[in-house]
A and B are shown apart, each in its own frame.
Chain A
Amino acid sequence: MKEYIGYSIAPGLIAGNVTLVEWDIYKVSKGHIKASEVEEHIKSFQNAVTLSISEIDLLLTYLETRAREERNILQSHQEILKDKILIEDVAIIIREEMKPADRAVQEYFNRMIDHLSDLDDVVLSQRKEDFEDIKMRIIRNMHHQDIHIKDFVKENKVVVLPEIIPSLVLSIKDSHPLAVIVEKGSPHSHSAIIAKSIGIPVIFNIENALKEFKENDPVIVYGTEGKVILEPDDKHIKEYEALKKSAKKLFKEKIALLKTPTLTKDKTKIELMVNIEFPEDCEIPEVQYIDGVGLFRTEFLYFMENSFPSAENQSVVYKQVIENLPKGKPVYVRTFDVGGDKLQREFGLHKEVNPNLGCRGIRFLLKYKEIFRQQIRGILMASAYGNLKIMLPMIASIKEIIQSCELIEEEKALLRKKKVAFNDKIEVGIMIEIPSSAILADLFAKHADFFSIGTNDLTQYVLAADRNNEALADEFTYFDPAVIELIRKTIKAGKKHNIDVTLCGEMASDPIAVPLLLGLGLRSFSVNISGIIHVKKILSRFTIAELENFYKKHQSNSQEEMQIAYKRLIKK
């Protein structure tokens, strides 16, 4: 028995026997070709180029509205593939240097890449990645013209591959394998995006799988966890069978539970929302039954392409989220929370000694107003289609709210002029994650339509403990009395001024913290997708009165005592 952990790409649980597929699609031929083979090699190269062009067509259709910037890059790759000079130059290498087609392609692009690397210009020399990409695509397509998916993907087997390419993912499901395990591969690659939708478990990055697995070895594939058990022992097999048996029942029960309203034991209605990172997250069945998206992180829009997309492109993404949710459910869009540390080069910023205390969140947005305006415009344009809210990150002062609202009003005026529809009453609220805003929540509440408490940053700033520093992680938590006091104050101020208060940090998904937060008066939780079910269950176990009393009894506890007390409470 051996356990392997990789990236979960597509969920599902299955047991079966593996079939190994070994090939190295990128390895190019050595030596020279004969004069009689020249034309054949030129033909094979041209076919690979044609195949690459149609492969990109396929990808473009698939991506459709998903990633505009990505589409632009792919389209420009297509332009290069259609370049006659490229075709001629490679043909010359094949004909005059008598190199095999794959080697000729490799050498041609390597010369281009070397040339670009010699340039002083940093930005341009990075463009060699484009060439690298195109080179690989052609070589791959040249090699697997001979590979037929049916030859190696066997029905009812768990297929293990060294790597996978988008066109293969699309055709793989026609061969009905049980699951797909890939040795290499990034969770953000094209292949991964497509593999999510093929309906069988897919796991990437199981290192050395081809070396350590033997043909026909039994495995259990845990798609959701990204886990593979090789040669499972009796214990695992029993566990698997039990899981499989109960999975169907569980799924039914889960959906039934999700369909019921979220209530405490004394029937107090609680709002249960979810945090998402990508629009595709909304396609998960659980999301159909919750009260909305309490946090839509938008940073991926930047990091996917390393540039900020235009308002139009952003509005397509926001609309996509709205359309994936039941009608009328709120979506809290948090504007870009990026810091100067990640954008230094592009914006010519000075290196920050402490980026967490630097120009990030709203500070960055108010400094680079055009980026902020594009995002505001994108949200406003999509607001005509559903209940979007604007959530401002890293607010430290009321002035920042006022300045942001001025920009929002200016963008509204522009859209009005252009006769573009939008929701004029769109709510604008703030993240409570910097202590100043929590301390003066009573004042901040007059300027915001809602509060959303971000416990991760709040904890790190209140306790001056870097949240990424593992040595501090256990000692400085949101169970600290000072953090709890600020959360309590924020909730109280929200109630007083009649504005919504939700909590979207890790704390909302922590089963031990949920009863504490209810006792503090919180009635709206935004949790991770994986936390929906267990938070819903915990919420139903207690009455508000009992939790209020429990908090009162323990409010002067230390952090450690608090944690122990609530741990005991939920174990009861």
Chain B
Amino acid sequence: MIKKNVTLTNKLGIHVRPASLISKTASKYKSNFLIRKDDMEINGKSVMGIMMLGAGKDTELELVFDGVDEQEMMEDIVKLFEDKFGEE
């Protein structure tokens, strides 16, 4: 299991497009993927789940990867956050 903390830096936070980008990327891997914010924990492979986080700019999130391909999955997902989902 890998845990990783990330901060949202894109201006609009996680709206529909980033949410679908995250879930799409996560769904390519076998491992489980959870996202935690405060006391919320959701399935990172679900667009609806991610949207429910209501994560705006500067929110801190904990990403939890667990499974056979967790390393690759983590790298791929973290890159999305670093690239600000291709936004400003």
Tell me if chain B binds chain A: yes
Q: List A contacts of B14 (CB < 8 A).
A: 124
Report which residue of A72, A120, A124 has the largest number of chain B beta carbons within 10 angstroms of its beta carbon. A124
**Known A79-B20, A79-B23; contact A121-B51, beta-carbon cutoff 8 A:** no
Contact of B20 among A80, A119, A127 (CB under 8 A): A80
B interface, how many residues as a size bin? 20 to 34
Q: Which residue of A lies closest to B13 (CB)?
A: A124
B47-71: which residues lie under 8 A (CB-CB) from chain A?
47-49, 51-52, 54-57
Would you call B46 and A115 a contact (CB within 8 A)?
no
Q: List B contacts of A72 (CB < 8 A).
A: 17
A570 at the interface (CB under 8 A from B): no
Q: Which residue of B lies closest to A127 (CB)?
A: B15
Residue-wise interface mask of A (70-87) relative to B, using a CB-CB cutoff of 8 A (1 in contact, 0 not): 001101110110011110
**Known A119-B54, A124-B54; contact A80-B47, beta-carbon cutoff 8 A:** yes
**Known A84-B46, A123-B13, A124-B15; contact A76-B52, beta-carbon cutoff 8 A:** no
B11-29: which residues lie under 8 A (CB-CB) from chain A?
11-17, 19-20, 23-24
Interface size counted on chain A using CB atoms at 8 A: 24
Would you call B49 and A73 a contact (CB within 8 A)?
no
Contact of A83 among B46, B54, B55, B57 (CB under 8 A): B46
Would you call B16 and A73 a contact (CB within 8 A)?
yes
Q: How far is the CA of A24 from the CA of B56 in the complex (A)?
A: 36
Q: How far is the CA of A116 from the CA of B55 in the complex (A)?
A: 10
Q: Which residue of A lies closest to B20 (CB)?
A: A79
A89 at the interface (CB under 8 A from B): yes
Q: List B contacts of A116 (CB < 8 A).
A: 51, 54
B32 at the interface (CB under 8 A from A): no
Report the minimum CB–CB distance from A227 to chain B (whole Å): 39
Would you call B13 and A83 a contact (CB within 8 A)?
no
Contact of A79 among B15, B24, B49, B56 (CB under 8 A): B24
A325-357: which residues lie under 8 A (CB-CB) from chain B?
none
Would you call B13 and A80 a contact (CB within 8 A)?
no
Q: How far is the CA of A127 from the CA of B5 in the complex (A)?
A: 25
Would you call A85 and B43 a contact (CB within 8 A)?
yes
Contact of B48 among A73, A76, A89, A127 (CB under 8 A): A89
Would you call B48 and A121 a contact (CB within 8 A)?
no
Q: How far is the CA of A83 from the CA of B48 in the complex (A)?
A: 7
Q: List A contacts of B43 (CB < 8 A).
A: 85
A215 at the interface (CB under 8 A from B): no
Report which residue of B11, B47, B55, B56 has the largest number of chain A beta carbons within 10 angstroms of its beta carbon. B47
Q: How far is the CA of A79 from the CA of B22 in the complex (A)?
A: 11
Would you call B56 and A124 a contact (CB within 8 A)?
yes
Report the minimum CB–CB distance from B87 to chain A (whole Å): 10
Report the minimum CB–CB distance from B57 to chain A (whole Å): 8
Would you call B47 and A83 a contact (CB within 8 A)?
yes
A545 at the interface (CB under 8 A from B): no
Q: List 21 A-B contacts (CB under 8 A).
A: A72-B17, A73-B16, A76-B20, A79-B16, A79-B20, A79-B23, A79-B24, A80-B48, A83-B46, A83-B47, A83-B48, A84-B46, A85-B43, A85-B47, A85-B48, A115-B52, A121-B13, A121-B54, A123-B11, A124-B55, A131-B51
Counting from the closest, the 5 A-B pairs by CB-CB distance are: A79-B20, A121-B56, A85-B46, A76-B16, A119-B54
A interface residues (Cβ-Cβ under 8 A, vs B): 72-73, 75-77, 79-80, 83-86, 89, 112, 115-116, 119-121, 123-125, 127, 130-131
